[in-house]
Structure 1
Amino acid sequence: MPEEDSVIGRARRYAKVGASVGGLAARLGAERVFGVKVNRAQHAAELRTALGGLKGPLMKVAQIMTTIPDALPKEYVQELAQLQANAPAMGQAFVKRRMTAELGAGWQGKYKSFELAAAAAASLGQVHRAVAKDGRALAVKLQYPNMSSAVEADLQQLRLIFAIYGRYDPAIDTRHIHAEIAARLREELDYERESRHMRLYSAMLKDEKHVHVPDVLPELTTKRLLTMTWLEGRPLLEFRDAPQETRNKIAYNLFRAWYVPFYQCGVIHGDPHLGNYTVREDFDINLLDFGCIRIFAPKFVGGVIDLYRAISTQDRDLAVHAYETWGFKGLSNEVIDTLNLWAEFVYAPLLEDRPRRIQEMEATGLYGREVAEQVHRQLRQHGGVTPPREFVFMDRAAIGLGGVFLHLKAEINWHRLFHDLIEGFDIRALMRRQKAALKTAGIAGPD
């Protein structure tokens, strides 16, 4: 029987998360309204500890919020960015019940072998090692119970945080941010959808020899169970002290893994979390976890390229056209200038035709944080802005992946990498490629 969102399920979730998330909102409100001094660093550390042991989407939401400029004070961002989705795994009794519910009483006979102890535990589910009847090594992702109720309850908590913070600081209107996060999180609950995303990425990256995507076993996959081939690899951070040439190669492969699908088919992997890829012995990349995928209308991709050209040639009218293509509305001259500050930061590595690090200035915090704070201050002065939904995960991917390149200290000619992808860009050709790839995977087109 499928688990549905329920009032009881939500109530239980509220009880679990209310103290930590509600406390955050209350303290922010008290600080802003009454001038109550809050030890933000201490409270942020407490919040990270609470969320780090809590299964469900709030941990993932917290990670997402760290990449939205000034959605939370920097003390919270620095703590929440450390969340690695490593909640304790559910026990063997749960695994047996869940597997029986998904595949029937004889489920163990459908695998050659299945390890009841989880190999990894994440925010929405845990992963088990198994072996297929034909001998292939498998990864079996099993969703935790009552996740639908957890998602809805956590989204309400997120709305509370946004509402209180926005009341006293209207620089960023978060309505569309919340809607976009909500849509993607609800999609992540459907593992059959994720299996289609994996087939989509296999199709889009079929010519990328250095990027690997697991194969899905549809006969062993349901909405709450996903069976795929196991891809061996090491965590990316193990290569931080590798030779420069090695780090550059890994960064090159990561860039191709993320941006070939976007510029060729209008699709982005919206969760550049360190746990979502591993590195092979030959430094190829394994791309993992396809729950958070964003499919864009082709014109949005055109807008990204238009804005790059606008920044590189200082064409203000083209920049305005790009923002409007994305869905920004009613932009004043001051807000346009402020948005251009952010665009100049994001596109900076692409503008110089030479090998360089992704960020050459000395960074005192997270990638892009200092610029984001400057942008936020100016937006607040000029009446604020409402980011369109499509902007949320595109920006998250750019900043999140930039942070990974910063960890690697990669030195690459990003300009040439980017121009290789957009050379001869034709929006009609993108439409044809996108339609063909989506049809192959059985996925509907963008809204």
Structure 2
Amino acid sequence: MAKKPVTSRSGRFLKLAGMTASVAGQYAGQKARRMFRSENDEGAQSESYTRMAGQIADTLGELKGAVMKVGQIASQTQDFLPREFSEALEKLQKEAPPMPFEVIVQQIESELGKPIPALFEYLQETPYAAASIGQVHRGRLLDGTDVIVKVQYPGVDESCDSDLKQLRLALKLGGLLKMPKESVDQLFAEIRERLKEELDYENEARNLQMFRDFHKDQPWVHIPQVISGHSTRRVLTMELIEGDHVSKVNRDRYDQGTINLIGQRIFELMADQLFRFQCIHGDPHAGNFAYRPDGSIVMYDFGCVKKLKPEIVEAYRNALTAALSEDYEALDRYLIDLGARVSNQPAVDEAYYAMWRDILIVPFEQEGFYDFAEAEIHKQVAAKTSTVFKYLDRFKPPVESIFIDRMIAGHYWMLKRLGVQAAFRAELDKYLNDH
């Protein structure tokens, strides 16, 4: 039998408090056992981390909401948590268990003030998609318009702050936060701000319209229209616009030329949002994009949108330009402007910057096409992460640009999964010089 969903604030708190106590107990036990070992048993530590991670991931998946969202962000931010946690939390990206349909119906009727038959010709019981703070159902309006209805889980918005505090406490007591307190404060403040926006579907409706306006001259971008009469702060009804999930983009219907065209357009979307609009789609995972055999792209879910400060965009542009031209002294200065480098610490060794540049710049330095299907940049980055510890006092998580990094990483994975072959250097230079 499916577990009854926890929707009350006190119920959520007790569930998270139980998880916190268990994780803290396991951590204390692990520390005590280590005292009696002649050497640090990494295997036992990893096993303990895996056990704690599994428990946290299961609890977050059941509760959904803010804590699950943080879990998803943590899984994409490798320097935030130990590897075992990143791996366990990654499944939250893929395995969000759905909320019972009667809970969804109750939420819609309470928000829109009418029974379902007075609002929709039909509403499908099986979710179209289930995510961290809400789930999506397919339906049809009484006038015959096919729609998707995004419904926020009850209790999620009221418990956002207490959920975040409790999760942070669990990670702290489990000895799992690998960052100084000031950085953790900044990171959680940024996550909280984005979550508050994401929990407000009226804000998302405004974002949808803003991005439709941004991309109005690009007819190959499809962004759903909001049905305002069927939308509130916790229910968002949009026209149904369908396309193929990346897993369905296969050689039967998409030739390499079409895939490459889609890749060029993905790059253009990303660069336009970053450099021209200075406002980015902050949640670029595979479920938020779809594709069509004519080379067009469908974009979904505009709850997480990050408006960028012009000086941050300028610092990012300058840092990229300096890295491309191997001017590492300038790069060091621009990283301070970006908030990624601690200003009162000595300059970083140029060889360190050169090492990272040589890994990350590869798609832009190819003679001819770069084949993203064969890309192993993520593996090379992972292999070098231990070098970060040498300069730990010189760098800090760049809170203002963390969503830019997240956007670029998300688009890298899309280009890789699609198997795009592209030469982006001329395009990149155009964006860097266009200001």
What is the TM-score of this pair, normalised by structure 2?
0.83
Judged with a 3 Å threshold, the aligned counterparts in structure 2 of structure 1 residues 26 and 321 are, in CA distance, closer, same or farther, namely: farther
Partner of 1:406: 416
- Once the 2 structures are TM-superposed, how far is the Cα of residue 137 of structure 1 from its aligned partner? 1.3
What is the TM-score of this pair, normalised by structure 1?
0.81
Q: Which moved more, 1:278-287 or 1:340-349?
A: 340-349
- Whole-angstrom distance in 2 between the partners of 1:23 and 1:403: 35
Partner of 1:332: 345
Q: Secondary structure at the match of 1:149?
A: coil
1:247 maps to which of 259, 269, 272? 259
- Whole-angstrom distance in 1 between the partners of 2:405 and 2:267: 15
- Once the 2 structures are TM-superposed, how far is the Cα of residue 377 of structure 1 from its aligned partner? 2.1
Partner of 1:130: 139
1:367-391: CA deviation from partner (whole Å, max 9, x where unpaired): 84334x23432233xx253323212
Letter in 1 for 2:257: E
Q: Secondary structure at the match of 1:263?
A: helix
Letter in 2 for 1:16: K
Partner of 1:185: 195
- Whole-angstrom distance in 2 between the partners of 1:171 and 1:33: 25
Counterpart contact for 1:341–1:375, Cα < 8 Å? no
Residue ranges of structure 1 left out of the alignment (5+ in a row):
1-7, 427-447
Letter in 1 for 2:419: K
- Whole-angstrom distance in 2 between the partners of 1:300 and 1:69: 22
Counterpart contact for 1:240–1:247, Cα < 8 Å? no
Judged with a 3 Å threshold, the aligned counterparts in structure 2 of structure 1 residues 290 and 360 are, in CA distance, closer, same or farther, namely: same
Letter in 1 for 2:323: I
Judged with a 3 Å threshold, the aligned counterparts in structure 2 of structure 1 residues 336 and 101 are, in CA distance, closer, same or farther, namely: farther
1:183-232: CA deviation from partner (whole Å, max 9, x where unpaired): 11111110000001101110111122222110111222110010111111
Letter in 1 for 2:345: S
Letter in 2 for 1:302: E
What does 1:338-349 align with in structure 2 at a 5 Å threshold?
342=356, 345-349=359-363
The answer to whether the aligner puts 1:290 opposite 2:299 as a matched pair is no
- Whole-angstrom distance in 2 between the partners of 1:339 and 1:14: 44
Counterpart contact for 1:312–1:351, Cα < 8 Å? no
What is the number of residues matched between the two proteins?
414
Partner of 2:397: 387
Partner of 1:79: 88
Q: Secondary structure at the match of 2:421?
A: coil
Judged with a 3 Å threshold, the aligned counterparts in structure 2 of structure 1 residues 168 and 96 are, in CA distance, closer, same or farther, namely: closer
Q: Which moved more, 1:397-406 or 1:84-93?
A: 84-93
Partner of 1:436: none
1:219-251: CA deviation from partner (whole Å, max 9, x where unpaired): 221100101111111211233666543433333
Q: Secondary structure at the match of 1:147?
A: coil
What does 1:200-215 align with in structure 2 at a 5 Å threshold?
200-215=210-225
Judged with a 3 Å threshold, the aligned counterparts in structure 2 of structure 1 residues 267 and 170 are, in CA distance, closer, same or farther, namely: same
Counterpart contact for 1:379–1:385, Cα < 8 Å? yes
2:154 maps to which of 120, 145, 169? 145
Judged with a 3 Å threshold, the aligned counterparts in structure 2 of structure 1 residues 32 and 314 are, in CA distance, closer, same or farther, namely: farther
1:310-367: CA deviation from partner (whole Å, max 9, x where unpaired): 01112234313322322344253455755675566444423446321359664685x8
Q: Secondary structure at the match of 1:174?
A: helix
Letter in 1 for 2:317: I
The answer to whether the aligner puts 1:356 opposite 2:370 as a matched pair is yes
Q: Tell which has more relative contact order, 1 or 2 (C-alpha 8 A, sep 6+).
A: 1
Q: Which moved more, 1:253-262 or 1:166-175?
A: 166-175
- Whole-angstrom distance in 2 between the partners of 1:107 and 1:390: 42
Partner of 1:160: 169
The answer to whether the aligner puts 1:67 opposite 2:80 as a matched pair is no
Q: Secondary structure at the match of 1:302?
A: helix
Counterpart contact for 2:79–2:178, Cα < 8 Å? no
Q: Secondary structure at the match of 1:131?
A: strand
Judged with a 3 Å threshold, the aligned counterparts in structure 2 of structure 1 residues 131 and 168 are, in CA distance, closer, same or farther, namely: closer
- Whole-angstrom distance in 2 between the partners of 1:379 and 1:28: 28
1:152-171: CA deviation from partner (whole Å, max 9, x where unpaired): 23311342255454777649
- Once the 2 structures are TM-superposed, how far is the Cα of residue 12 of structure 1 from its aligned partner? 1.9
1:89 maps to which of 95, 98, 116? 98
Partner of 2:67: 58
Partner of 2:226: 216
- Whole-angstrom distance in 1 between the partners of 2:257 and 2:182: 40
Counterpart contact for 2:129–2:137, Cα < 8 Å? yes
Counterpart contact for 2:328–2:353, Cα < 8 Å? no
Partner of 1:16: 15
